[in-house]
A and B are shown apart, each in its own frame.
Chain A
Amino acid sequence: MKLGGRLLLGLIIGVVAGAVLYTVMRIILGMPAWAANPWPMVALALTTGSIGLLWGIEPSLGLARGLMGMVAGFVVGLLVTYVIRLVLGMDPAWKPEPAWVVGAVLGSLGFLLGVGVMTDWLRWTRGEKTPEQHGPPKGKPAWVRYFGADQNHKVIGVQYTVTGILLLGAAGTFAMIFRTELTNPGMDFLSADLFNTFISIHGIVMIASILMGIGGLMNYLVPLMLGANDMAFPRLNSFGFWVAVPGAILILMALFFGGWNTGWTGYAPLSVRGPLGIDFFMIGVFIFGFSSILGAVNLITTVLTMRAPGMSMFRMPIFVWAALATSLIQLTGTQFIGLSFLMVVLERLFHMGFYEPSLGGKVLLFQHLFWFYSHPAVYIFILPGLGIISELLPVFARKPLFGYKWIALSSMAIAILGFLVWAHHMFTSGMSASLRVPFMYSTMLVAVPTGVKFFSWLGTMWRGKLSFPTPMLFVLTSIAVFLIGGLTGPPLATVPTDLHLHDSYYVVGHFHATMFGGFVFPFFAALYFWFPKITGRMYNERLGKIHWFFQTVGFYTMSLYMMRAGLLGMRRRLVDYDPALGVAGFHHVITMAGWLIFLSVVVGVLNLAWSARRGPVAALNPWESRSPEWLLPSPVPEHNYEEPFEVVGEPYDYGIPDSVYVRMHSEPARAG
């Protein structure tokens, strides 16, 4: 059958199946077959219709089968809960909340079974051996592997990165919606509930996007930099990516189940009382957490056991150190956000009084557990970005990285210190005042290893032969923006000033400066830098610089005006504000700057997407980097290194005559 015919067939079958499924479910659950509100049926029919379209494009797509599995899992979950409640004689037998929670869990499981990431493991339990899979599925076009369970770390890296960019677009769109509402005082087009939902979902989807982005960088780069042919556990790697997809889907589904009004932090007891969307949000984050933890298990094992001969820990490319430190936080801290959210869901379902004071629970427990992950989490977001800065600066300064060991150890120091500072989020929460001062000092201590990094970057640039292609511009802006983010931190760490600044737009400005300096700018630097390696083609330099210029200008304007509005008394998370505060003009500027950033990112992404197909073929090593991945042809072949290499020198001895980092066995030496 022709493609058009299959698409049409898939769409029709999907839409009809969705409508029939909806009606049948209503009849089984004892409701009138036709609902007064047609939108749930339309939404389901559109979802199944899209799955049908995917199936029409290529019947073997793992994604299409995963989504079918997810719908099936939801149906089973709803019915099982209904039947159990019916058998136990509970009234009413159809209760939405438990049914949808069980549906969400089984739906995620259905997705994973459908997409095929557990097939090999299930066969192992029957004593069968399964070969590792290499190359695209037999007889299918090469692009199919990007939409299914592929075990190659480069494919998984691209899957992570592209998903991250898609989520970045979604979260950015949410931001633009509520940012536009805030342009003028007064309620313009959003309701208060919808505003709360959009700020909450902007936050958590951005976090999901960042976790995907760093996952992409780490999965693609670390094995290449170590001289390994893949990660330690290729199947676990595939599972780690695909388990994040149902997690993200559940978070987005929260929009259609009443949204949620707690912000991305989901503080109890408000989250215990909020709408059904909170269950979707929290279970989505919980399932997303498996991705973080299992990805970290894989990455740490890879770094510890798969380094090339001669590559001691202090001869690894510096990004690997950042990835290792990040993974240690992900491995350990993620359990705590899972724990705090799990207890909220249990309290909602079974009325277990963890957080409810009238039952003896304690509200602050949630904040302690939550911030024990969520503060270290910001170091998960920024450490890979800081690693990118340290990785790229020597290349564009043509000088050795200043103080390699200090940089490596400062990443570890940030990872460890990050666990000792969580309660600085709670200075105004009513926790014991005696805890304030120790947490103030521990928070200030973070400035030490971060300062080490800044000194090293300055030392690396000092008297270097700087050149300024797009990746370098993004790197330099990262440093400048992260400096603003860093310097605005101590006033928030200091108790007396924090009591004044807490919950103001100053915090919003500070936080966005750390995230842009620590993740967004370095992420784009990395994308532009490794783009020729990944695709074998070159992006458009002029468009890249346009992207950089408008993102930089837009960001400075947005962040500085946010801080200024906060200092003048603008509280965060408010849908409306008093024009007498005198900040309406600032909000105009912040909204326009936000749109500028949004459009600049669109330019950047379009540039990369277009260049991946049509860009000029890239030179073998366009940046004259010494890192081993640039010894390989671009794009990198299926089995990275056909022959192993040996590390015989220091990684960043740029500009030093006759210095060698890696030596392939077949060739005598290679100058750096």
Chain B
Amino acid sequence: MTATTQTHHQEAISPARRLVMNRVGLWMFIISETFLFSGILVSRFYLWGGTRPHLNQLLGMSVTLILVTSSFFANRAEVAIKYGDRKVFLRSILMTILLGLLFLVGVVGMEWPSAPVKPTMDGEFNVYGAVLFFMTGMHAFHVLTGVVLLAIVARLGARGHFHAEHFWGVEAAVIYWHFVDVVWVFFYPALYLMGTAVGPGH
């Protein structure tokens, strides 16, 4: 940006203050999203109560471990770029993306076709199928957006866009990734562990 396009208004906000404003804004957005996922969780308890469908426990445990591990690498990427270590940053963020994609394969590619919640003759899903697909689907959609954001950040990072003084893009994507991860920490027990399993099993 040249000095001529720089205006009075932009000079008024220092980079340090801009960072604070960005952080407040992002956290406001995350508070909002928290209400969305709380609503989904409440709906699960309202509709399923103390029951749950028979799901593949090994698959559930595996995707959970994969996602939690991905958060570790996301954090490593953020710390690395704040210390200016681009190599570790890039490796960690690619690892995060890989694990995120693995999670999506596990949930959408494996759990969805195998879950014992088939549609009826009229193509209707009962309440178990509806809630299962809705919860995992809404979450998977957010994981997908997180992967897209991380991919954008990785591509920019590979071109040297981020460094120790310029890391907001990384931080934002990583905080969002942690948030999506924490949502799953609540969704996993609600889907796989709590209540008695009913209906056909594996």
* Chain A residues near B (Cβ < 8 Å): 125, 127, 129, 131-132, 134, 229-230, 232-233, 236, 293, 296-298, 300-301, 304-306, 331-336, 338-339, 343, 346-347, 350-354, 356, 359-362, 365, 368-369, 372, 639, 642
Contacts and interface: CB of A to CB of B under 8 A. Distances in A.
Contacts, number: 123
B68 interface: no
A134 B24 contact: no
Nearest to A361: B127
Nearest to A351: B124
B1 to A, nearest CB: 5
Contacts of A332: 31-32, 35
Contacts of A129: 1
Contacts of B127: 353-354, 359-361
Given A339-B40, A354-B130, A372-B39, A131 B32 contact: no
B202 interface: no
Interface string B98-126: 00000000000000000000011011111
Contacts of B131: 354
Interface of B: 1, 5-10, 12, 17, 20-21, 24-25, 28-29, 31-33, 35-36, 39-40, 43, 46-47, 119-120, 122-131, 133-134, 152, 156, 159, 161
Nearest to A151: B9
B129 A352 contact: yes
Given A304-B24, A352-B129, A353-B124, A335 B10 contact: no
Given A229-B8, A332-B31, A339-B40, 5 more contacts: A131-B5, A305-B21, A306-B21, A331-B32, A642-B8
B25 A353 contact: no
A350 B36 contact: no
A232 B25 CA distance: 9
Contacts of A369: 39, 43
B39 A335 contact: yes
Given A127-B159, A229-B12, A365-B46, A293 B32 contact: yes
A339 B39 contact: yes
A227 to B, nearest CB: 11
9 contacts: A125-B152, A232-B24, A301-B25, A331-B31, A331-B32, A332-B35, A351-B125, A360-B128, A372-B39
Nearest to A152: B9
Contacts of A639: 7-9
Nearest to A356: B124
Contacts of A132: 7, 9-10
Closest 3 pairs between A and B when the two form their complex, measured CB to CB: A360-B127, A352-B130, A335-B36
Given A131-B1, A305-B24, A335-B36, A354 B9 contact: no
Given A331-B32, A369-B39, A232 B47 contact: no
Contacts of A372: 39
Nearest to B131: A354
B35 A336 contact: yes
Contact of B130 (A297, A334, A336, A347): A347
Contact of A354 (B35, B43, B156): B43
Contact of A351 (B33, B123, B159): B123
B185 to A, nearest CB: 19
Nearest to B4: A131
Nearest to B46: A365
Nearest to B124: A351
B134 A134 contact: no
Contacts of B28: 296-297, 300-301, 331
Contacts of B25: 232-233, 236, 297-298, 301
A426 to B, nearest CB: 14
A359 B125 CA distance: 7
Nearest to A330: B32
A351 B119 contact: yes
Contacts of B17: 305
B32 A354 contact: no
Contacts of B32: 293, 296-297, 331-332, 334-335
Contacts of B152: 125
A365 B39 CA distance: 11
A418 to B, nearest CB: 14
Contact of B126 (A127, A232, A296, A359): A359
Given A125-B152, A335-B32, A339-B36, A353 B20 contact: no
Contacts of A125: 152, 156
Given A125-B152, A339-B40, A361 B47 contact: yes
Given A332-B31, A339-B36, A359-B125, A354 B134 contact: yes
A132 B13 CA distance: 12
B134 A352 contact: yes
Nearest to A336: B39
B171 to A, nearest CB: 15
A125 B157 CA distance: 11
A129 B6 CA distance: 12
Contact of B7 (A134, A354, A356, A361): A134
A396 B14 CA distance: 39
A516 B117 CA distance: 49
A149 B161 CA distance: 27
Contacts of A331: 28, 31-32
A619 B65 CA distance: 68
B36 A359 contact: no
Contacts of B31: 331-332
Contact of A333 (B6, B35, B120): B35
Given A230-B9, A346-B134, A351 B122 contact: yes
A306 B18 CA distance: 10
Contacts of B129: 352-353
Contacts of B125: 350-353, 359
Given A351-B119, A369-B43, A297 B1 contact: no
Contacts of B1: 129, 131
Contacts of A356: 124
A134 B39 CA distance: 40
Nearest to A124: B169
A374 B43 CA distance: 17
B130 A353 contact: yes
A360 to B, nearest CB: 3
Contacts of B20: 305
A292 to B, nearest CB: 10
B172 to A, nearest CB: 11
Nearest to B123: A351
A88 B167 CA distance: 44
Given A301-B25, A353-B126, A365 B47 contact: yes
Contacts of B133: 350, 352
A132 B7 CA distance: 8
A350 B125 CA distance: 8
B20 to A, nearest CB: 6
A356 B122 CA distance: 14
Contacts of B123: 351
Contacts of A305: 17, 20-21, 24
